[in-house]
Chain A
Amino acid sequence: MLDSVSAGEIEAAGIGKNFGRFTALKNISLTVGRGEFLTLLGPSGSGKTTFLMILAGFEAPSAGRLSLNGVDMTETDAETRGFGMVFQGYALFPHMTVEQNIAFPLRVQKQSAQQIKARVAEMVEMVGLGGHGHKKPSALSGGQQQRVALARALAYEPPVLLLDEPFSALDRNLRGQMQDEMRRIHKDTGTTFVFVTHDQEEALALSTRIAIFNHGELQQIDTPREIYDRPSNRFVAEFLGDINILPVNPKLTDEQGALAEFEGRAIRAVSDQGGGSSVAVRPEHMILSADEMPQGNSIPAKITDIVYLGAETRLALKTPGGSDLTMSLPTHAVPATAAVGAPFWVNWAPEHGVFL
């Protein structure tokens, strides 16, 4: 088990990156805490991988400063930073065996043969590859290669481990397994992890915090729960999970929260800024009722489609004003009277609505 004291804290201040006239990153400022698992999440071309490459030292930022444990490292090259890195496609040395791959960074550090041997054996064991040590990467499955890459990157106890979409080549089942393993290894090593992915489920499952990128800008950085429940803008709301966005007229804020009007009805929701032009509600936060409910928000709608998905059922509805709604209910909670064309009331608690 590694010493969590060696975990590093990274601070990025105003990082920008231009490729010719193209702006890949604009003014990114964030801190990655010691031992944190930070996920950089965004659609392709959002700048998340560029940011990771800047953290690794493979790309130089066009603007801004980077520091590790309070010491400026903006000009430090990748060799000296010594962060662990797991690449998309693993980037294993094809001409070396599993053990030789894992020993590579230890050899670079000129550790003694004895130390290297012990450490390699420990790492092989940690990633569950006992008995595969003498194989070449080409003789291993994708998941096994992934483990070798992880073991190699962690062998020399780097202060920070950077991971660039490490699971993108694996099938779904294996992904789940590797995610569990990744969580365990993060816990065991205590190292700071910075992880790039475009898979939102992966991000929610693994991270202590998520940083959402779009068009080279940092949209929001917070815990998975906070980002899911309180998206700070429309992009974040729509990017992470499904969400209903209702166009509203903002009115005023009173002591019970913010107030707005949707199709002639008063809607309450939470807001820091006091109202916005739309209210966002997650499909699973809405409930169906036959009559208008006295408390909370309640709007009438007709069912337009019912999709049975096993444990849950998705309902599509339309309001009298023509807005589309999506609801997600546990299948056992779907009323027997639910049918296409049936009128219902859609209800949700004010704290589940967010002004955007």
Chain B
Amino acid sequence: MSKSMKSALLLLGPLLAFLMLAYVFPFLGILRWSFTLPELGLGNYSDALTDPLVLSVFWRTLRVCVIVTVVSVASAYVITLLWVRGGPVQRLVMELCILIPFWISVLTRAFGWLALLSNRGLINTWLQGIGLTSDPLTMVRNEFGVVVGMAHFLIPFAVFPLASAMRNLDERVLLAARGMGAGRQRVFWTVFLPMTAPGILGAALIVFVFALGFFVTPAILGGGRSVMVAELVYLRIFQSPNWGLGAAISVILMIGVAFLMGALMKAVRPGEKS
């Protein structure tokens, strides 16, 4: 082992030890529960994959996460474009808009959205006040509220990979396209967007994986009606003590994420080389 490897291991050691203690060992425990509680076998997995309730939660989680990913990455793309390619004042304003929500806790933000979106919240009061609607619009305790809250939380995570993709783009390539007579629209759709595609994939991966494990936001804004996987695991373990099933669902989620990461990494890598 080379000297630099040794010192790298020495420096990484505490982190590795922490990860072993805090993640790997507990996860091995969960893996064991999924096969042994209440009895040894694959019963929990067959339950998880046949129980219509569990399946509907899986399906909803997938749907919500896809919508959240599309909404977050699309909004983040526009925001990043305004941030990276704007003048100094615009850049500062965008920076604050991106960073300030980033500093506020998930919980606070979820309750903030609740205050805005609930039936007697700010938006409904206002809409009814100016006579646009007579009955309140249902914007929380359903998937809409969950999507809004999650997207709001995840947008900054999509902004950073997109910003790095946009900053690394060679300005001269855009000039070249303009010089050949291409207008702004054409330069954007045929050059800028395809060249930042690896950044889009990276951002989508981060947002999607993050979204799969979301707990607090769906719990508050979904109000128990749009239960997602993380909340289901919580319910199985803490409320209807069925630790084995909860563990099996966790493991299935984990395997799904691992597959997805692998596939997307493969898709992104060749793009990074060029």
Q: Residues on A close to B: CB < 8 A?
A: 56-58, 78-85, 87-89, 91-95, 104-105, 108-109, 136-138, 152-153, 156
Contact = CB atoms under 8 A, between A and B. Distances in A.
B273 interface: yes
B172 interface: yes
Contacts of B191: 93
A94 B274 contact: yes
B176 A108 contact: no
Contact of B176 (A91, A109, A136, A138): A91
Contact of A108 (B170, B175, B180, B273): B180
B194 A89 contact: no
Given A137-B274, A138-B273, A91 B182 contact: no
B197 interface: yes
Contacts, number: 72
A79 B178 contact: yes
Interface in B155-204: 170, 172-173, 175-183, 186, 190-191, 194-195, 197
B186 A83 contact: no
B175 A92 contact: no
A95 B172 contact: no
Contacts of A83: 179
B172 A104 contact: no
A92 B173 contact: yes
Given A80-B181, A138-B274, 7 more contacts: A57-B179, A82-B179, A83-B179, A87-B175, A87-B176, A89-B170, A104-B180
Interface residues of B, number: 20
Contacts of A138: 273-274
Given A91-B172, A93-B191, A95-B194, A82 B181 contact: yes
Contacts of A152: 176, 180
Contacts of A85: 175-176, 179-180
Interface of B: 170, 172-173, 175-183, 186, 190-191, 194-195, 197, 273-274
Contacts of B195: 93-95
Contacts of A84: 179-180
B197 A89 contact: no
B173 A91 contact: yes
A156 B181 CA distance: 10
A156 B175 contact: no
Contact of A78 (B172, B179, B186, B274): B179
A56 B178 CA distance: 10
A108 B172 contact: no
A93 to B, nearest CB: 6
A40 to B, nearest CB: 17
Contacts of B170: 89, 91
A19 to B, nearest CB: 15
Contact of B175 (A91, A94, A95): A91
Given A95-B197, A138-B274, A109 B175 contact: no
A58 B175 contact: yes
A126 to B, nearest CB: 17
A138 B172 CA distance: 16
A105 B180 contact: yes
A79 B173 contact: no
Given A136-B274, A137-B274, A138-B273, A93 B173 contact: yes
A104 B179 contact: no
Contacts of A88: 172
6 contacts: A58-B175, A58-B179, A78-B178, A89-B170, A94-B274, A152-B176
Among B173, B181, B183, B194, the one with the most A-chain Cβ atoms within 10 Å of its Cβ is B181
